[in-house]
Amino acid sequence: MKNKIFLFSVLTFFAGVASTGCQYQEGSEPQMAAETNKEIKSEPKTEHTSYSEDWEKFKIESEEKIKRNEEKIALFREKLKNSGSTIKAKYNKEISNLEETNKGMKKTLNNYKNDGKNVWADFKTGFNNAMDKLGNSIDGLVTVQD
């Protein structure tokens, strides 16, 4: 049940992020383009550079977390091979759900587009929260089995 709630909350979060970035108001497109150009020109280059550096650092750290999650899942699957059939049946579905969520996080990270500083801050916060929840779920599952 917790995994279903977790999966639902992660999917809801990403749907919200996607819908927020895709809002369109009729007749305001040329104005938005002009405002975006003004914002880009008015931002100091050092701020853009620090933002790019922050994104690269964040991406590397997140990829490492995703890789650690993959390793934990693989280790858990290996431990599960030596377990009885009832335990395998109980945990296989949970492991598969966690694995799919981890793949979704990787895809979301790779698909992120630079949409500005405010969107970046929201994405970073939401992504970190989702990664923490996923990591806790994986850790909780592994400790239950031990």
Please give the average per-residue pLDDT across 34-45, as a whole number.
50
Q: What is the pLDDT of residue 11?
A: 53
| pTM reported for the whole predicted model | 0.62
Q: What is the pLDDT of residue 70?
A: 94
Alpha-carbon gap, residue 65 to 77, rounded angstroms = 18
Please give the average per-residue pLDDT across 60-69, as a whole number.
95
Alpha-carbon gap, residue 119 to 73, rounded angstroms = 31
